[in-house]
């Protein structure tokens, strides 16, 4: 038997064996080839760490509520969409993913006249 993490494999055919019960001197039988394998998982050592053990800037920024700064939206471009306020034919726009990843992005439009509006894709 060979073990990789908590997974235990048959030494003869490589089949994944039933989960170990952690009992010393127990035998796991392979359902594929019938080979009996000694359970060595009881010798395995499990460790755990705290998130604070590995500080990360990304982890520090992670939060249930995320704020978007205007500087994050510096991906403006010009598009031929008429402004509903003044009728100008070209306005600046930017796309931001405000909702979950499987939903469309929100498009923000800004006209030179100062009018702003948005649409959800």
Binding residues for Zn(2+) are 10, 13, 30, 33, 83, 86, 111, 113
Binding positions are 10, 13, 30, 33, 83, 86, 111, 113
Chain-centroid distance of CA 77 in Å reads 29
Q: Which residues contact 77 (CB under 8 A, 6 or more apart)?
A: 92, 93, 94
Q: How far from 90 is each of 29, 75, 79, 85, 93, CA to CA, in Å?
A: 72, 16, 6, 12, 10
């Amino acid at each position: 038997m060979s073990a990789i993490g908590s997974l235990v494999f048959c030494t003869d055919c490589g089949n994944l064996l039933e989960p170990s019960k952690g009992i010393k001197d127990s035998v796991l039988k392979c359902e594929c080839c019938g080979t009996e394998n000694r359970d060595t998982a009881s010798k395995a050592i499990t460790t755990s760490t705290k998130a604070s053990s590995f500080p990360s800037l990304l982890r520090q920024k992670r939060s249930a509520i995320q704020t978007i700064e205007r500087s994050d939206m510096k991906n403006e471009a010009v598009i031929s969409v008429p402004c509903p306020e003044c009728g100008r034919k070209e306005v600046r726009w930017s796309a931001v993913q405000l909702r979950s990843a499987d939903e469309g992005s929100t498009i923000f439009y800004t006209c030179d006249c100062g009018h702003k509006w948005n649409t959800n894709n």
